[in-house]
Chain A
Amino acid sequence: MIHLQGVSVVYPDGTRALSGIDLQVDRGEFAFLVGASGSGKSTLLHLVYRELTPSEGRVIVSGQDVASLPRARVPYLRRNVGVIFQDFRLLPDKNVWENVAFALDVLGASRKEKYRKVPLALELVGLSEKEQSFPNELSGGEQQRVSIARALVNSPSILLADEPTGNLDPDISWEIMQLLTRIADRGTTILCATHDRVIVDGMRKRVVSLVGGTIVRDARGGGGYDEP
């Protein structure tokens, strides 16, 4: 599903963000990317949704070489890759329903399609009751669930999460992780960058550790933050 081969990223100022990355994440797999700030976690995610192109190597997503994708084709890649962030990135002047529907609006979905898909996504994240609320009326966990609903409403086969629990309390973080697990169980590939040790240790999923832009450990069978 996601396949990086010999990938390096060097920023224009000469900073080497990633070097010699080989990584394969299969369909429906849930993997954590762990490491300190600046270890290259976010850079790796950026490669998958073509926010960045690698300086060397190949990035293959759903069988497509993302680096050589013409710019005009990037939107179509992104329809297949949902992304969520630490800061949720919701639109403050739109309510929950509208925030989720926005992802369909910009793809020209019909009214009928929206009324079919938005309630399903909200039900999946457990926010059916709050569809009329505005982001500022929601807790951090609820806001993150809205952003997950928005990322999933187009049924992408990949969900990238960049520090999804960075702004959340431990209890709420745990709820979000349970939600992501349920999503992975439905067949969505999840790649989650985090430095939340408690979460990673508790989940016992695959853990890919990055240090200084290289993979130092890949606990494929499931592991904790530090130990195999």
Chain B
Amino acid sequence: MNLSMVEFLLQQTWQAIRRNGLMSLATSSNMAVALLILSTFFLATLNLQHMANVEARKANITIDMADDADAAKVEAELWGDMRVGEVRSRSKDEALEEYAEIMGGGDTEEFLAALGDNPLPNAFIVRPKDPQDMAAIAKAARSIEGVSDVRYKEQVTGKLLTLARGIKIAGVVAAVLMSAATLLIVSTTIRLTIYARRREIRIMQLVGATNSFIRLPFILEGAFHGVMGGAVSTILVLASYSWVHAYVGQHLNFMELVYNSTFAVLFGLGAMVCGILFGVLGSAIGLHSYLREI
């Protein structure tokens, strides 16, 4: 393949795109919409999983001990549970300090004066290796001698993970449907191009152009729609995502979204690559059914 060949191929591709102007526009737009929907599902799944992971890292179980409990024995029993990842002890005094802080950062002396005596128990804070084991660990801990109470937050983590799973499934279904629609549209456009250029193709065959040379402009045309669709969808998705990110940062700051410049670049490249794959595959399908003989 030399330079004039490349020039000729690009020229052929560009001519075909221009000749079928409206159809080309429709194909690129459809590609953009397909990638837009896929990107949205991808971002939603990614962020829900991210939030679930963040929550999971915070998840822990508070195990209160009776005043006369043997702390060392309780701790040893907790460590005996293979599902336990970390055990940290929290004394009555530390608990009070934390409580004071939560209540507005007051002095613990004031609280002690008001309460008379520190009512908070000595406790162990247990972090499970896997947040899914939360309930099982809590149940086991209740039966340990000297444990007065076991508390853990009914997990948001689980709910987030379930939601992420649901969105992932919906995303996969949408991806399959949108991919099929996109492939259909790209292959139809390519068939139209083939039809419009049938005389040229015939002459190319007659004067001895190789099959790959005849096919290449169509593959390039598909790739072009992929690049266009990828670019448009990336711009739209990243623009709206950065707006959502800013909004969440301002109004819903308990949520944390995945967002940085490397992510944006990788995301754009990913969309582009997906678009090109769709385009090339769509062209290949169109070529296969209409140019079987060449």
Q: How large is the interface on A (under 10, 10 to 19, 20 to 34, 35 or more residues)?
A: 20 to 34
Q: Is B202's CB under 8 angstroms from A75's CB?
A: no
Q: Is B208's CB under 8 angstroms from A91's CB?
A: no
Contact residues of B: prevailing secondary structure? helix
A80 contact set on B, CB distance < 8 A: 208
A107 contact set on B, CB distance < 8 A: 207-209
Interface residue? B213 (CB, 8 A): yes
Q: Is A154's CB under 8 angstroms from B207's CB?
A: yes
A106 contact set on B, CB distance < 8 A: 8, 204, 207-209, 213-214
A108: which of B5, B202, B206, B214 is its contact (CB, 8 Å)? B5
Q: Which of A63-110 contact B (CB under 8 A)?
A: 71-72, 75-80, 82-83, 89, 91, 102-103, 105-110
Interface residue? B260 (CB, 8 A): no
Interface residue? B262 (CB, 8 A): no
Q: Which residue of A lies closest to B293 (CB)?
A: A71
CA distance A49 to B2 in the complex (A): 27
CA distance A78 to B206 in the complex (A): 6
Q: Is B199's CB under 8 angstroms from A91's CB?
A: yes
Contact with A along B1-32 (1 / 0, CB 8 A): 11111001000000000000000000000000
B200 contact set on A, CB distance < 8 A: 91, 102
Q: Is B1's CB under 8 angstroms from A108's CB?
A: yes
A128 → B minimal CB distance (Å):
21
Q: Is A89's CB under 8 angstroms from B202's CB?
A: yes
B199 contact set on A, CB distance < 8 A: 89, 91
Q: Which residue of B lies closest to A83 (CB)?
A: B206
A72 contact set on B, CB distance < 8 A: 210-211
Known contacts A108-B8, A109-B4; is-contact A102 B203 (Cβ 8 Å)? yes
Known contacts A89-B199, A89-B203; is-contact A110 B208 (Cβ 8 Å)? no
Interface residue? B205 (CB, 8 A): yes
Q: Which residue among A72, A80, A89, A106 has the maximum number of chain B CB atoms within 10 Å of its CB?
A: A106
Interface residue? A116 (CB, 8 A): no
A79: which of B4, B5, B208 is its contact (CB, 8 Å)? B208
Contact with B along A99-130 (1 / 0, CB 8 A): 00011011111110000000000000000000
B204 contact set on A, CB distance < 8 A: 106
B3 contact set on A, CB distance < 8 A: 110
B175 → A minimal CB distance (Å):
36
B280 → A minimal CB distance (Å):
21
Q: Which of B189-209 contact A (CB under 8 A)?
A: 199-200, 202-209
Q: Is B206's CB under 8 angstroms from A49's CB?
A: yes
Q: Which residue among B2, B8, B206 has the maximum number of chain A CB atoms within 10 Å of its CB?
A: B206
B8 contact set on A, CB distance < 8 A: 105-106, 108
Q: Which residue of A lies closest to B8 (CB)?
A: A105
Q: Which residue of A lies closest to B214 (CB)?
A: A106
CA distance A71 to B293 in the complex (A): 9
Interface residue? A150 (CB, 8 A): yes
Q: Which residue of B lies closest to A78 (CB)?
A: B208
CA distance A103 to B207 in the complex (A): 6
Q: Which residue among B1, B200, B210, B213 has the maximum number of chain A CB atoms within 10 Å of its CB?
A: B210
Q: Which residue of A lies closest to B203 (CB)?
A: A89
Q: Which residue of A lies closest to B6 (CB)?
A: A108
A150 contact set on B, CB distance < 8 A: 203, 207
B207 contact set on A, CB distance < 8 A: 78-79, 82, 102-103, 106-107, 150-151, 154
B208 contact set on A, CB distance < 8 A: 75-80, 106-107, 154
Q: Which residue of B lies closest to A99 (CB)?
A: B203
Q: Which residue among B1, B4, B214 has the maximum number of chain A CB atoms within 10 Å of its CB?
A: B4
B5 contact set on A, CB distance < 8 A: 108
B211 contact set on A, CB distance < 8 A: 71-72, 75
B219 → A minimal CB distance (Å):
16
CA distance A77 to B203 in the complex (A): 15
A70 → B minimal CB distance (Å):
11
CA distance A69 to B207 in the complex (A): 17
CA distance A82 to B208 in the complex (A): 9
CA distance A106 to B294 in the complex (A): 14
B binding-site residues for A, Cβ under 8 Å: 1-5, 8, 199-200, 202-211, 213-214
Nearest 10 pairs of A and B residues by beta carbon: A108-B5, A79-B208, A106-B209, A78-B208, A103-B207, A75-B208, A75-B210, A105-B8, A106-B204, A110-B4
Can you offer 24 A-B residue contacts whose CB atoms are under 8 A?
Answer: A49-B206, A72-B210, A72-B211, A75-B208, A75-B211, A77-B208, A78-B205, A78-B207, A78-B208, A80-B208, A83-B206, A91-B199, A103-B203, A106-B8, A106-B204, A106-B209, A107-B207, A107-B209, A108-B1, A108-B4, A110-B2, A110-B4, A154-B207, A154-B208
Q: A75-B210, A76-B208 are in contact. List 6 more A-B contacts (CB 8 A).
A: A75-B211, A78-B206, A78-B208, A83-B206, A103-B207, A106-B208
